[in-house]
Structure 1
Amino acid sequence: MFFVVLCLSPLISPPVALLMGLIIAQFIGHPYLNLNHKATHILLQVSVVGLGFGMNVNSALEAGKEGFIFTIVSIVGTIIIGVLLGKLLKIDDKISYLIATGTAICGGSAIAAISPVIKANEKQISVALGTIFIFNSVALVLFPIVGHYLNLSESQFGLWCAIAIHDTSSVVGAAEKYGPHALEVATTIKLARALWIIPIAFLSTLIFKSKETKIKIPYFIGLFVLAMIANTYIPLVQNYSHYITSFAKATLTLTLFLIGCGLSKKVLVSVGFKPLVQGILIWIIISAATLWAIYSLV
């Protein structure tokens, strides 16, 4: 509880919170591990909606148009490359597919939405989630360093991390550290990518022949859009938006702390070698290709 309160204060940054969580997971253990996934899921949605109160509709639309082509090409390319690597490495089809879609769309949220559609079991889901969260942890720290080294603008960095970092929490955490415009670009593009869960879920029912399974739509994206509209057009909301976004950033830091707490030794060991190889190869390919495209076209 001490660390939870500390994460909600302005003293702790998202990368430090994640590191604290990892240390606790390895040496102390999470006392409420069975509730961790649900807590992080709810907190992430609250954080994203809250951040919508700090954004402008017109700026977001401009950022969304800029990233539209990148989004389509990167999603399709990532899933194809991921599935092919899974075949090459002889990884379980469902684990391979979950890692590929999690990398392509929005990390843990995509895995949570796709796994019931393809009827993945608990082991397959935990391996995919473990792989995604390990690389998210690295990206949260590594991407801002690389961005500053390469002198990327905030717009370029926001586009890069929205496409090349898996999970929404790590995208927002890395972009927030880089700058306010990077945060706006990254959040808008990442949530636009999250909408691709719906067509990918429908496609998954055909691939895995599970048509009777219901598809879960991420409703918090709609709330994020409403928050953004309210902040743009309602003066009363604008007066309090600073307090709401400050709270959202604090809950995001707490989310990353809890994600770190969930990466116990058992989770790390259960992932195995081959899924990690698949995950890192997809990640390197999509990160490098996106960075090259941004340098060339943006």
Structure 2
Amino acid sequence: MSDTPVQTSATVLTVRQVQDYHAMTLVAPAIAERFRPGQFVALAVGGEHTSRLVRRCFGVYEVKSDYGGTVEVVFADRDLGTAWLAGRRARDQVDLVGPLGRPFRLPRDPVSCLLVGGGPGGAALFALADTLHRRGCQVHFVLGGPAARQVFGSRMAQRIGDTAVITTEDGSLGERGTVRDVLPRAIQETGADVVYGCGPTRLLRTVTATAAEHGLPSQVSVEEFLQETGACGIGVCMTCVLPIHGEDGVTRMVRACADGPVLRGDRVRWNDLGTIPFDALGAPRALSGGSK
């Protein structure tokens, strides 16, 4: 098995509505056999003669050996590109590149793992959960969102997780509140050794800060950052750069797609996203005599 991503014309098997999201299953055996949890795929949108050049990047919900090898992604219909994807039907073709990016690092020994997710990005937790279970780890979930329709995978989490806490801001599913409200308790009750996060950037900030408060390592997938920046997914366009504090104390700008999407939460300079910090390696310097 090679780690090299492939480009293929994938056949659509199904597209189904799941709460406020769409789940698309594609027949792509070469990608399915290479995939590791945390990696993502990039889908071309608009058809063969489209003027839409930028692909849409999504984490992988599930890979299966069915039909020779399938890859399933979950996404929100948020723009013309994702609307085009949502309109695909069985046997349509979609140009697909993957698997891309760096995967989650897996524990060497069986430990207690807390998986925290929100929105469609949280779908990527389930491929991780399957792999962790096969390694003998305990898998606990915390899933949250504004309302029930924005929480993906709550039933699956309750079925496969050793425990699962579901929270919604309006109280329409599980506990009323936010992930921030329930996460400290979940860490204590599960005896978590490591925390994984997938979902909106604000959720990843919460995961990182709360894990650090409890002295735990965190790994987060910044997949949503790829979508917000309209990244190419292959490290060429440089629109998805973000500041990372290295072990040597130096801040560097890294590409979320090529150097991520999985990053150590405590290394991300969350307050500086969208900027190039003045102390980052290679950052522009103010002109001599300019304002200070």
Instruction: Give the TM-score normalised by the residue count of structure 1.
Output: 0.28
Instruction: Give the TM-score normalised by the residue count of structure 2.
Output: 0.29
More helix by share: 1
Larger RCO: 1 or 2 (CA < 8 Å, sep 6+) = 1
Larger radius of gyration: 2
More strand by share: 2
